[in-house]
Amino acid sequence: MKKWLIGIAVAILFVFGIVAGTYISALGPKKDSEQEAFRVAQKEAGLVTMDEFFIYNGKDSYKVLIGKTADGGKKAVWLPNDDDKKTVTANYDSGKTKEEILKIANKKPDEIISIKLGMENNTPLWEITYLDDSNRYNYDYYDFKTGEWLKFYRSI
């Protein structure tokens, strides 16, 4: 009986190890992308720390970082994946914070899946992803600077 229990425990640990290894290796490209984006943001925007990192895939794809500069100021940096587009930098304090956008959107925190910065049509924005009562995905977009509601996608 003891041998069976030991065998089952070893098998469970083996499966757990495989799952954990797969998960860690799957996160590798995102981590590499994050580190490369931070190096670019250091050069182009003078960031010395990175507080948050987002990957935004809308009409265009952006890597977005929020971090601090040497003088202690907080900046948001949008790095386009398209080489023809320019990097956009803004003082974080010149726009709405994540908390302010959450209040404007009037969503319950338990509904929220993510709140992240993005960019469409040269407009920095906040994207809120949440589930509705039927567990369907919904997306709301708010202007980064003003908090004005821009557009939405419902029941996806």
**In this structure, what CATH number is given to the domain that contains residue 65?**
3.10.450.40
Please report the pLDDT score of residue 64 as a whole number: 95
Three-state SS for the chain is CHHHHHHHHHHHHHHHHHHHHHHHHHHHHHHHHHHHHHHHHHHHHCEEEEEEEEEEECCCEEEEEEEEECCCCEEEEEEECCCCCCCEEEEHHHCCCHHHHHHHHCCCCCCEEEEEEEEECCEEEEEEEEECCCCCEEEEEEECCCCCEEEEECCC
- The total number of structural domains in the chain stands at 1
At 9-67, the pLDDT tens digits run: 777 877 777 776 666 666 555 566 778 888 888 888 899 999 999 999 988 899 999 99
At 96 the pLDDT is 94
Write down the mean pLDDT value for the chain: 86
- Which residues span the domain enclosing 24? 2-153
Can you give the pTM of this predicted structure?
0.77
Q: Pick from 48, 96, 40: which is nearest to 71 by CA?
A: 48
Can you tell me the mean pLDDT for 123-128?
95
Q: Which residue has the higher pLDDT, 35 or 148?
A: 148
More confident residue, 102 or 125: 125
pLDDT over 90 percentage in the chain: 47
C-alpha 75: how far from chain center = 15
